[in-house]
Chains A and B, each alone.
Chain A
Amino acid sequence: MKRFNSFNLFKPGSTALILSLIIFTIIEALIITRVINPYIQTILSLAGIVAISALGLNLIYGYSGQFSLGHAAFYGIGAYTSALVTCLIPKTGFLAFPLGLTAGVFASGIIALLIGLPILRLKSDYLGIATLGFGMIMNVLFKNSHRVIPIMGGASGMRGIARLTSFPWVFCFLLLAVIVVRNLVYSGFGRALLSIREDELASESVGINATKYKTISFVTGCMLAGLAGGLYAHLYSYLNPDNFDFLKSIDVLLIVVIGGMGSISGTVLAAIGWALLLEGLRVILPSGIQEWRMVVYPLLLIIFMLVKPSGAMGGTEFNFLKPEEYRR
């Protein structure tokens, strides 16, 4: 199998490094000069968080073709776990947040492994229903969580989580998520995923251990969701089980499809576009017709799908994200 120069995405002088530095500097400068107020900063952070979670689902659905409707549940597991950790050990200061996030990531990962092993045998719609079922179970668990751990609040929600997430954190983790997904995809591992997506039986026949690859991609994707959840919990400082029901899974699914299945740049663009569109409509529409936001937004979805059914990037990638031998 061909070896890729995958780990030099951020080598000195590369477009990716320069571009991310420029974007970060501009946004930070605007934040410091108060041009970007806390509201816009929250929305930008939310956009980044959604992008991280969507990159996870992109790995599962876009690259490996495993239809999951339970993504929000893993997002929730990450959110609740990391919030619990930072609430229970607030004295560790600066370390609490990274510790909490790590705990969230691994909780999501471990549960994804336990769930993934049995249900990843299923295909397409059937897998979708199984993951949907898992999502519902997690939702019920979140709603009754206060019986076991009172501070989780059950259906009335978990309050008083420290507000630790800021834009730089989100930005760094988004870069990390891009690197992880990109390096996975442009490797022998990624090629195997693509072949499983196209035809699982044929891949098995050339010696690819489909179960192993599917499970690894599912677990990695869910860990990214867990990371996003942890960042979310510490951005809004309040968690409610309703934030992690299957409708939220649909939102992420929608972003992956709109961005173009199996495209990192597409997913990130679509996630940011999605968050900014929803909030932008809130700002643009005058007070009297706010309910039209939920009309305009679906309409734009329909129009977009008619105009560009393959998604924003249509399965392609920005050149700078690809290894050199793939660039045109």
Chain B
Amino acid sequence: MRNLTVLILTLGLGLAILSCGPGNVIKVGVVAPLTGDVKTFGESTVNGIMLAIEEANRAGGVNGKQIKLFISDDKNDPTEAANAGGKLIELDGVVAIIGSVSTKCSLPLADKCQVARIPMITPTSTNPKVTVTDDGRHKEFIFRACFTDSFQGVVAARFAIDSLKAKTAAIMFDVGNDYSRGLADYFKRFFEAAGGKVVAYESYQKDDVDFSALLTKIKQQKPDLVFLPDYYNKVGLIVKQAYQLGLVTRFLGGDGWDSPAMLEIAGKEVAGSYFVNHYSADDPRPEVQNWVNKYQARYGQKPDAFATLGYDAGLLLIAALKNAPNAKPDEIREALSKIRDYPCVSGTITFDEFGNPIKLATIIQYTETGQRFVTSFAP
């Protein structure tokens, strides 16, 4: 028993000594789920962030200083995310944090960072509440690299009118799901503002599996397209049933559609439908192809949206650090809020007054065998 204690103490001491770095560094924290139910999302994100930081360090660092990452696991658990944030801020003394992946972890982490006045960039949390307080003010230290749910709704509406030339649309959404309801709401608002007509605005419950009544109703209205902002498993069911009822039209959705399982559930019926996404590896823009090659060389696989957004969050932070000569949190926040037209992989990013990026969105079409990149555009 005593030997065991000695062993553990020695190991701990050794690790503690190893983890101490040289003095002239900028300490940056990362919070991501490295264990738990969304471990793969966390790993991709961290891979992306690490690649961005490694590149900057290899190019001589930022203002002559190397960036040192302090990575902490949140298990996709809100309490752990808050603890991880506290540890990075109080013990490691990081000047900025990139994290976390899911909204439920980013919310408490954002609280922590806002109170401690440490700038935070979440790579992938799309819920508007992460950067905005309940009374609609921007939490001035919180930013994100991905677009928000509302932005997706706007992009989808634009695409429907400009590219698909749709004049009428039907909307179906899950009334109990913030994400689905939010997207439906924004799509409706912008589709109508741009001169389109919403002929049906129908909701269903999370556990519904039979949509024939709703679909029959929509079929009678003969809409040019049906907007379906939900996750791939539900979308698959609805699309299949729509075709069985003879409602042959185009479907449009959000980033919840992005899954290899979509084709298994929906079958060939989903071919021809479009959805909005953060990024596509097939995008011919040189920034994207360059990034895909870099990532593949380093990790041996194609980068997914998480890795890309993690990389972009890293790029944004590095850009801000360059304009913050003393690397103080207040300076970094200031520099982040002033970022204009900064070239990232997922698009050229400008922060709006709520810390959300204004950038490109990618439109992807399902084919019978997979996904096809259609276009990327800024609304």
A residues sitting closer than 8 Å to B (CB atoms) are 37-40, 42-43, 46, 144, 147, 154-157, 159-160, 236-238, 240, 242-243, 279, 282-288, 290-291, 293-294, 303, 307
Contacts and interface: CB of A to CB of B under 8 A. Distances in A.
B73 A282 contact: yes
Interface residues of B, number: 39
B77 A307 contact: no
Contacts of A307: 1
Interface stretch (B84-92, B161-169, B190-198, B235-243): B84-92
Contact of B78 (A144, A238, A294): A238
A103 to B, nearest CB: 22
Of the listed residues A39, A156, A243, the one surrounded by the most CB atoms of chain B closer than 10 A to its CB is: A39
Contacts of B213: none
Given A156-B178, A287-B70, A291-B34, A279 B87 contact: yes
Given A240-B78, A286-B18, A294-B75, A40 B107 contact: no
Nearest to B14: A284
A144 B174 CA distance: 13
B79 A243 contact: yes
A147 B175 CA distance: 10
Contacts of A46: 79, 83
B84 A159 contact: no
B90 A291 contact: no
A148 B92 CA distance: 42
B71 A287 contact: yes
Contacts of A286: 15, 18-19
A37 B83 contact: no
A161 to B, nearest CB: 10
B87 A283 contact: yes
Contacts of B73: 282, 290-291, 293-294
Given A157-B104, A243-B77, A284 B90 contact: no
B127 interface: yes
B134 interface: yes
B290 interface: no
Given A236-B78, A294-B35, A283 B91 contact: yes
B91 A242 contact: no
B265 interface: no
A271 to B, nearest CB: 15
B69 to A, nearest CB: 6
Contacts of B103: 156
A287 B19 contact: yes
Contacts of B72: 282, 287, 290
In the A-B complex, list the 6 residue pairs whose CB atoms are closest, starting with the nearest: A39-B90, A39-B86, A287-B71, A286-B19, A37-B90, A238-B108
B253 to A, nearest CB: 20
Given A284-B15, A286-B15, A291-B34, A238 B82 contact: yes
A248 B4 CA distance: 29
B34 A159 contact: no
Contacts of B202: none
Nearest to A288: B71
B334 interface: no
B143 to A, nearest CB: 18
Nearest to B104: A240
20 contacts: A38-B86, A39-B83, A42-B82, A42-B86, A144-B176, A156-B103, A156-B127, A160-B133, A236-B78, A236-B108, A237-B111, A243-B79, A282-B72, A283-B87, A286-B19, A287-B30, A287-B69, A290-B73, A303-B4, A307-B1
B116 to A, nearest CB: 8
A307 B71 CA distance: 33
A46 B80 CA distance: 11
A290 B19 CA distance: 12
Nearest to B175: A147
Interface of B: 1, 4, 12, 15-16, 18-19, 30, 34-35, 39, 69-73, 75, 77-79, 82-84, 86-87, 89-91, 103-104, 107-108, 111, 127, 129, 133-134, 176, 178
A254 to B, nearest CB: 16
A136 to B, nearest CB: 15
Given A156-B178, A287-B30, 13 more contacts: A38-B86, A39-B91, A156-B127, A237-B108, A242-B78, A282-B73, A282-B87, A285-B15, A287-B72, A290-B34, A290-B72, A291-B73, A307-B1
B4 A284 contact: no
A242 B15 contact: no
Contacts of A43: 83, 86
A290 B71 contact: yes
A307 B1 CA distance: 8
Nearest to A275: B83
Given A286-B18, A294-B75, A236 B82 contact: yes
A286 B12 CA distance: 10
A279 B91 CA distance: 12
Contact of B107 (A157, A283, A287): A157
Contacts of A284: 12, 15-16
B204 to A, nearest CB: 15
Contacts of B4: 303
Contact of A159 (B69, B71, B91, B107): B107
A269 to B, nearest CB: 16
B32 to A, nearest CB: 9
A187 to B, nearest CB: 35
A291 B176 contact: no
Nearest to B108: A238
Contacts of A294: 35, 73, 75
B54 to A, nearest CB: 13
B77 A242 contact: yes
Contact of B87 (A39, A160, A243): A39
A286 B108 CA distance: 23
A147 B71 CA distance: 37
Nearest to A238: B108
Contacts of B87: 39, 279, 282-283
B91 A37 contact: yes
Contacts of B77: 242-243
A279 B71 contact: no
